[in-house]
Amino acid sequence: SPGLPSYTMDQIREHDSSEKRIWMTYRQGVYDVTDFVNRHPGGDNIMLAAGGATDPFWNLYAIHKEPHVLKILAKYRIGNISEEEAKSQVEGMEDAYSNEPKRHPSLKPASKTPFNAEPPMEILADSFITPNDLFYVRNHLPVPDIKEDEYELEFEGEPGSKTITLSLSDLKKLPKTTVTAVLQCAGNRRGELIEIKPVRGLVWNAGAIGNARWTGVRLTDFLKSVGVDPAKVKATQIQFDGYDTDPTGKTYGASVPADKALDPKSEVILAYEMNDEPLSRDHGFPVRVIVPGVVAARSVKWLNRISFSDEESWSFWQRQDYKGFSPSQEAEGADFSKAMSIQEMPVTSAFTYPKNGSKVRVKNGKISAKGYAWSGGGRPIIRVDISADGGKTWYVANMDKREPKCEGTYSFCWSWTLWSAEIPTPKGVHEAELMVKAIDASYNSQPDTTANIWNFRGVLSNAYHRVVVKMFT
């Protein structure tokens, strides 16, 4: 903005409190946000950028770069910084991403720094176990580079007790178990909500989900090894912190209610292998938590610390994110403290074939389809229904592959169900919208349309999955 005064970063750094006024920069703009901080939907987090650049945070807390946010910001503009200084702020942020691992070229990035990507939908249901290189990646921060023999896991039990530190080889001496479990991002299928109204967050298709064999130590076995009886723990929350940090040193963290995490049947594990290989850097090397049946945000990667508490984790991602709201709640004014953190996820299903907008061959009057279905809390899928005529007729899909332990229970089924179907199509029909819905062992099913579950953060998107296809013979 010409006409506004120019400032140096040194001058801006002086303005880091309400008394001295709170200034920050975005690109070349200087903003006095003193009067906005109390209304910031992300609460105090805005103060992380006080007296400095907001750019690095905007990339991490990926909810900002939208026209309406820029419009709010514009009201507070008071000046400019030089082009060189703006560039060096941005370079500083990119430096944090100079040591990222290599990724498989077929992972389609929704964002590059931090790295977030899902595999092509058409391969997702080709294998019951998602290959490591094709498993979606969801990072909020730069990937830590941890040396195996330098790795330390800290444990602090009931509040006030002494912190114990363990190495990877200490962990590997404990009983080894494997659990096959789905990880699904809360934002999986967010892309469908965007068709109703814009949302904040990465645009995921239906591939922010995968099913893997996780090997490591059961949390309950770990606790026993450090002298804690899981049945006697008084704390109500188990907190996990990662080694990944934002520019101010705040770590990624999450928590799980103790009654869930400490029940041996929940099979929460500290995993060091994924599909019989050491974890890759993107998936949490050398140790991550796996909380089966729960939103993947709680399966903390690069695990640094386990602690007991009577409070949920104070991490941004536990308190200010990963919560559901009414469709009428706008981002501005949303009270995160009153909304429940997502833990167990609702039932979902999706087509991996055919692809939306594709052409499919009709064989013997039928078209084929396949995909996945899954529900949170270990609830097995009991049926998958498909319609090609707007819901007038429903066909029951074949459930082709799931864990044997998913049979005949109400719970403890952590893996997904892969299904396929041959759907009859009337002669002379050349285009159809296919719909799929799954039903879990609690007879929960999916909502039929996205409109009534829209939420500004774009989480929990589990309406009937729909694909429109053209048919030929």
List, in order, residues 6 or more apart from 60 with CB less than 8 Å away. Answer: 114, 140, 141, 246
SS3 category, 210: strand
Q: Which of residues 230-259 bind ligand MTE (CB under 6 A)?
A: 242, 244, 252
For residue 283, the partner it binds in ligand MTE, Mo ion, none, with Cβ less than 5 to 8 A by kind, is ligand MTE
Question: How many residues of this chain bind ligand MTE (CB under 6 A)?
Answer: 20
To the query of whether residue 410 is one of the catalytic residues in this protein, the response is no
CB of 323 to Mo ion, least distance (A): 13
* Comparison of 23 and 372: residue with beta carbon closer to ligand MTE: 372
What gap in Å lies between CA 220 and CA 259, rounded to an integer? 12
* Comparison of 16 and 131: residue with beta carbon closer to ligand MTE: 131
Does position 297 bind ligand MTE by CB under 6 A?
yes
What gap in Å lies between CA 79 and CA 88, rounded to an integer? 18
Does position 299 bind ligand MTE by CB under 6 A?
yes
Closest CA to 371 of 414, 425, 435, 295: 435
**Among 140, 185, 252, 283, the one annotated catalytic:** 185
| Residue with the shortest CB distance to ligand MTE | 242
| Residue with the shortest CB distance to Mo ion | 185
Among the residue ranges 82-90, 98-106, 177-185, 382-390, the one whose residues contact Mo ion (CB under 5 A): 177-185
Contact 295, 322 (CB under 8 A): yes
For residue 140, the partner it binds in ligand MTE, Mo ion, none, with Cβ less than 5 to 8 A by kind, is ligand MTE
Largest CA distance in the chain: 76
Closest CA to 202 of 259, 140, 160, 143: 140
Does position 185 bind Mo ion by CB under 5 A?
yes
For residue 242, the partner it binds in Mo ion, ligand MTE, none, with Cβ less than 5 to 8 A by kind, is ligand MTE
**Among 136, 243, 252, 322, the one annotated catalytic:** 322
- The DSSP code for 266 is G
To the query of whether residue 138 is one of the catalytic residues in this protein, the response is yes
SS3 category, 363: strand
- Give the per-residue contact string, 130-169, with ligand MTE (x = CB under 6 A; - = no): -----xxxxxxx----------------------------
Does position 140 bind Mo ion by CB under 5 A?
no
**Among 26, 61, 138, 151, the one annotated catalytic:** 138
Does position 138 bind Mo ion by CB under 5 A?
yes
How would you label 40-72 residue by residue, b for 16+ Cβ within 10 Å and e otherwise? ebbeebbbbbbbbbbbbbbbbbbbbeeeebeeb
Beta strands in 186-325 (DSSP E): 209-218, 237-245, 251-257, 269-274, 277-278, 288-290, 303-309
Contact 101, 109 (CB under 8 A): no
What is the set of active-site residues?
Answer: 40, 64, 138, 185, 322
Q: Which residues bind ligand MTE (CB under 6 A)?
A: 135-141, 183, 185, 242, 244, 252, 282-283, 296-297, 299-302
